[in-house]
Amino acid sequence: MIEIVAQTGSTNADLAEKLRSAEGWPEGHWLVARRQIAGRGRQGREWFDGAGNFMGSTVVALGKGNPPPASLSFVAALAVHDAVAAALADDAELALKWPNDVLLHQGKLSGILLEMVRDHVIVGIGVNLARAPQLPDRKTAALADLRPPPEVADFASALAVAFAQRLSDWRNHGLAATLAAFLQRSIHAQGSPVTVHDTDGSKLSGTFAGLDESDGALRLRLADGSERVIRAGDIS
């Protein structure tokens, strides 16, 4: 089920409130807002509220034996990639970037935010369908740069189907299969240069040495041959 509202503060916050109350929110149901006035991105960034863009959230009920909850970011990124690829005549310029960025012509197309509430993970997703924000520190993109964007409700339906399939794969085939699917569609090649930008402004450079199969952390090989495991931060 997909519930679409004209405006809300944050779809993630709305679902968090429901999960903390007796009302709850069923897995597989989505809350989508045509306007979101208090949305947030990773690391506390404000999320751009563009008319005609997709802004929505769903929940995943965690079960025994599931992969680590944080690895749902790969599930979400793959689902966005699937839904956008279906809307494009040619998806050659569509790619994934660790930890969960979807890129179109090397520009950031979407944002994904995970939040844990009790035994559920809220998965918030924003996709630039109609227009993209102008950011000083990164290139951005919108689907409308290449073709007329789909209506929000139509994209929501496609994304819900894609997410359900990727979630099933994550649960039934394990994290290794999800990470392999992510890398197959990613910009990352073994040995390619990577710079990690931490929230404190520091940088660490090395080469890409793969993803840790336990949780999807990035393995960075340093100049001295040692490896550093990166679980958070932006990369370039």
Q: Convert the pLDDT of each residue in 175-207 to its tens digit.
A: 999 999 999 999 999 999 999 887 777 888 999
Residue 41 has pLDDT above 60, yes or no: no
Residue 120 has pLDDT above 60, yes or no: yes
Within this chain, do residues 78 and 176 fall inside the same structural domain, yes or no? yes
Within this chain, do residues 122 and 223 fall inside the same structural domain, yes or no? no
* CA 32 to each of CA 6, 56, 94, 159, 224: distance values in angstroms, whole numbers, following the listed order: 9, 4, 24, 11, 48
- Give the pLDDT confidence score for residue 200 in this predicted structure: 72
Within this chain, do residues 198 and 103 fall inside the same structural domain, yes or no? no
Within this chain, do residues 213 and 130 fall inside the same structural domain, yes or no? no
Encode pLDDT of 55-107 as tens digits: 999 999 999 999 999 999 999 999 999 999 999 978 778 999 999 999 999 99
Q: Categorise residue 106: left if φ over 0, alpha if ψ from -120 to 50, beta otherwise.
A: left
Within this chain, do residues 6 and 56 fall inside the same structural domain, yes or no? yes
Give the total number of structural domains in the chain: 2
Within this chain, do residues 97 and 205 fall inside the same structural domain, yes or no? no
Within this chain, do residues 160 and 58 fall inside the same structural domain, yes or no? yes
Within this chain, do residues 231 and 128 fall inside the same structural domain, yes or no? no
Domain assignment of residue 206, given as a range: 193-235
In percent, the amount of the chain with pLDDT more than 90 equals: 79
Q: How far is CA 217 from the centre of its chain?
A: 15
Q: pTM of the prediction?
A: 0.93
Within this chain, do residues 58 and 147 fall inside the same structural domain, yes or no? yes
Within this chain, do residues 48 and 160 fall inside the same structural domain, yes or no? yes
Smallest CA-to-CA distance from 59 within 85, 98, 86, 23 is with 23
Within this chain, do residues 88 and 160 fall inside the same structural domain, yes or no? yes
Residue 43 has pLDDT above 50, yes or no: no
Burial of 115 (0-12, 13-18, 19+ CB in 10 A): middle
Within this chain, do residues 135 and 224 fall inside the same structural domain, yes or no? no
- State which H helix or E strand residue 97 sits in: strand 94-97
- Give the pLDDT confidence score for residue 49 in this predicted structure: 63
Backbone dihedral angles phi then psi of residue 129, each to the nearest 5 degrees: -85, -55
Query: What is the domain-level CATH number for residue 228?
Result: 2.30.30.100
Q: What single-letter DSSP state applies at residue 108?
A: E
